[in-house]
Chains A and B, each alone.
Chain A
């Protein structure tokens, strides 16, 4: 290849700032993923009905039993909603792996990988669009919560920080889910596999039931479970309940720790996905 050819080539191919193009690639992929919810509204409807049902189930079916437990001082609905928020973002994050597995099986990943786009954009765009969807669902859950008696007892700044914390926690789990989807490479299996690790995390925690009401051996797990820690820091931020600083710190360490481990794992899995 002659020198002039190289020059012409570079003018055409690389006239852009790499950071700007990476961001533009990520946003293009995010937009593509979100358009799907506009095109298939039933997807959004059904993925929001489930958390609403959990709110009603716990508020009215199990809530009374827990409310009556000795030593329980708060209205159960205020105890419940932070748990629902965290459950919602984690359940939502499982869609990251499912979406990636679908893109893999339908040949979209091949198309993307043959384009001169940023290598990280497919994953970052996917986790970002799932976070946008999680934001929507969390806001919806707040409204549903208010309808069944939930109230935020702090001010705007801690409340917004609480929502941001929940969403960051969901984003971290999206990256775990991304890694799983790229490893399992099949839509149904990814879906099924998600529940294997999601259920012990979400239900064997203090999300719905106070620690004291759990059997002793389960308490040991529930205490260190990142879901418990995050739900408890949300209770601090939204309800002003005690020990928030300690929980908040541990919760943030979990978010950062998961990202530090699973972002590189997922990206390298994506690069090598054939």
Chain B
């Protein structure tokens, strides 16, 4: 289709350009001046806790929500001015599998094809192609109501691919899936990327952003707080990370005092799991040995001690001072950007 000639002409151009994007819901600054740029044919991960503004961002980029300030272009089209043209070159898979459960898998895809103006014959052909590719051919003529969570997600993803979009948006594509369904979806997403579809995906799973994305923006409270490849972000933590799980919760304070002196950055305590995490800097091995010695001296018993490569969890901790999962519980940043989502969830 039209992808062929586009490739050469626009190879250098970015698929998504966002400049100073703002969106307010009353007092809440869901997006507070976001800048990102996603080169064509790459996967961009938008990583952040619940309510960080990820969904608001996707809804603006897919023309569902008008921005309050700034500028956004997808595939060269302005999200406000060229909204109707833009819709024909993008695909969207939202947080909730938007499939009609009273229609069969096949009917769902054919409906999307017809509404994309592919024509009845082409819609039918495309539906079969996608059902086959997403391992849904056997279930093609059953109503989506009978599908498992994973099958619905796959059908939803297939629906967003019917019109061969240049840019695909996946908003938390694996939320609510079991590990097997998640792995399967990751496989499918990796395949997509090989076909040079540009992909923007949001996730609150750090592992997911790590595995799937070329570049990652960490977003918190409506702002991009860091951007880079997974490795670049990890190096911000500063070398390796040491984790200590203390046996007796009353000794957490003592252990914390001992570790703080040795850490290359701020230590973090998770009181429920009795786990202390500290950046170890360049010489992780010798720091580890020193920690063992000091904890021993202080009489702190530990049930686990490890030196490991930093994960994006550690990055998040370093950047924001809180764990990714904690924000929604604190409720502060959770108000930002979550409005659209919550309204739909009612």
A residues at B contact (CB < 8 Å)? 1-2, 4-5, 8-9, 11-13, 16, 21, 24-25, 28-29, 32, 35-36, 39-40, 104-108, 110-117, 121, 185-186, 274
Q: Is the CB of A107 within 8 A of B87?
A: no
Q: Is the CB of A111 within 8 A of B94?
A: yes
The interface stretch among B99-107, B213-221, B237-245, B328-336 is B99-107
Task: Identify which of A12, A29, A106, A185 contacts B2 (C-beta below 8 A).
Answer: A12
Residues of A within 8 A of B84 (CB): 116
Residues of A within 8 A of B159 (CB): 111
Q: Is the CB of A274 within 8 A of B97?
A: no
Q: Complex Cα distance A213/B87, Å?
A: 58
The residue of chain A having its C-beta at the shortest distance from the C-beta of B171 within the complex is A110
Q: Is B228 an interface residue (CB 8 A)?
A: no
The residue of chain B having its C-beta at the shortest distance from the C-beta of A189 within the complex is B346
Residues of A within 8 A of B111 (CB): 28, 32
Q: Give how many A-B residue pairs fall within 8 Å (CB-CB).
A: 104
Q: Complex Cα distance A29/B103, Å?
A: 12
The residue of chain B having its C-beta at the shortest distance from the C-beta of A122 within the complex is B115
Given contacts A107-B98, A114-B87, A114-B91, 20 further A-B contacts (CB under 8 A): A13-B85, A24-B114, A28-B111, A35-B103, A105-B344, A107-B96, A107-B97, A110-B64, A110-B344, A111-B98, A111-B112, A114-B64, A114-B90, A115-B112, A116-B84, A116-B117, A185-B343, A185-B346, A274-B64, A274-B343
Q: Is the CB of B117 within 8 A of A16?
A: yes
Q: Is the CB of A108 within 8 A of B100?
A: yes
Q: Complex Cα distance A28/B346, Å?
A: 28
Distance to closest chain A CB from B145 (angstroms): 8
The residue of chain A having its C-beta at the shortest distance from the C-beta of B96 within the complex is A107
Q: Is B251 an interface residue (CB 8 A)?
A: no
Task: Identify which of A9, A29, A110 contacts B92 (C-beta below 8 A).
Answer: A110
Q: How many residues of B contact A (CB 8 A)?
A: 44
Task: Identify which of B6, B98, B100, B103 contacts A5 (C-beta below 8 A).
Answer: B6
Q: Is the CB of A107 within 8 A of B94?
A: yes
Distance to closest chain B CB from A167 (angstroms): 24
Q: Is the CB of A36 within 8 A of B102?
A: yes
Distance to closest chain B CB from A31 (angstroms): 8
Q: Complex Cα distance A13/B89, Å?
A: 9
Given the known interface contacts A12-B1, A104-B344, A113-B63, the answer about A1 and B96 at a Cβ–Cβ threshold of 8 Å is: no
Q: Is the CB of B87 within 8 A of A115?
A: yes
A-B contact pairs, 21 of them (CB 8 A): A5-B6, A8-B6, A9-B2, A12-B2, A13-B89, A21-B117, A24-B117, A28-B114, A39-B102, A40-B102, A106-B98, A107-B344, A111-B112, A111-B159, A114-B87, A115-B112, A116-B85, A121-B115, A185-B343, A186-B346, A274-B59
Give the one of A2, A107, A114 with max B CB within 10 A.
A114
Residues of B within 8 A of A11 (CB): 2
Q: Complex Cα distance A25/B98, Å?
A: 18
Residues of A within 8 A of B2 (CB): 8-9, 11-12
Given the known interface contacts A105-B346, A110-B94, A113-B63, the answer about A35 and B6 at a Cβ–Cβ threshold of 8 Å is: no
Residues of A within 8 A of B59 (CB): 274
Q: Complex Cα distance A66/B239, Å?
A: 90
Q: Complex Cα distance A111/B101, Å?
A: 14
Q: Complex Cα distance A274/B63, Å?
A: 10
Distance to closest chain B CB from A213 (angstroms): 44
**Chain B stretch 4-24: residues in CB contact (< 8 A) with chain A:** 5-6, 9-10, 13
Distance to closest chain A CB from B199 (angstroms): 15
Q: Is the CB of B92 within 8 A of A114?
A: yes
**Chain B stretch 291-346: residues in CB contact (< 8 A) with chain A:** 340, 343-346
Q: Is the CB of A35 within 8 A of B107?
A: yes
Binary contact readout B67-109 vs A (1 if CB under 8 angstroms, 0 otherwise): 0000000001000000011011111101111101011000100
Q: Complex Cα distance A8/B143, Å?
A: 37
Residues of A within 8 A of B1 (CB): 12
Given the known interface contacts A32-B103, A104-B344, A106-B98, the answer about A25 and B92 at a Cβ–Cβ threshold of 8 Å is: no
Q: Is B62 an interface residue (CB 8 A)?
A: yes
Q: Is the CB of A117 within 8 A of B115?
A: yes
**Chain B stretch 98-134: residues in CB contact (< 8 A) with chain A:** 98, 100, 102-103, 107, 111-112, 114-117
Q: Complex Cα distance A111/B66, Å?
A: 16
Residues of B within 8 A of A121 (CB): 115
Residues of A within 8 A of B117 (CB): 16, 21, 24, 116-117
Given the known interface contacts A40-B102, A274-B65, the answer about A5 and B88 at a Cβ–Cβ threshold of 8 Å is: no
Task: Identify which of B85, B92, B163, B340 contacts A111 (C-beta below 8 A).
Answer: B92
Distance to closest chain B CB from A97 (angstroms): 15
Q: Complex Cα distance A2/B5, Å?
A: 11
Q: Is the CB of B10 within 8 A of A115?
A: no
Q: Is the CB of B100 within 8 A of A115?
A: no
Q: Complex Cα distance A21/B120, Å?
A: 12
Q: Is the CB of A1 within 8 A of B10?
A: yes
Q: Is the CB of B94 within 8 A of A5?
A: no
Residues of B within 8 A of A29 (CB): 115
Distance to closest chain A CB from B122 (angstroms): 12
Q: Is the CB of B87 within 8 A of A116?
A: yes
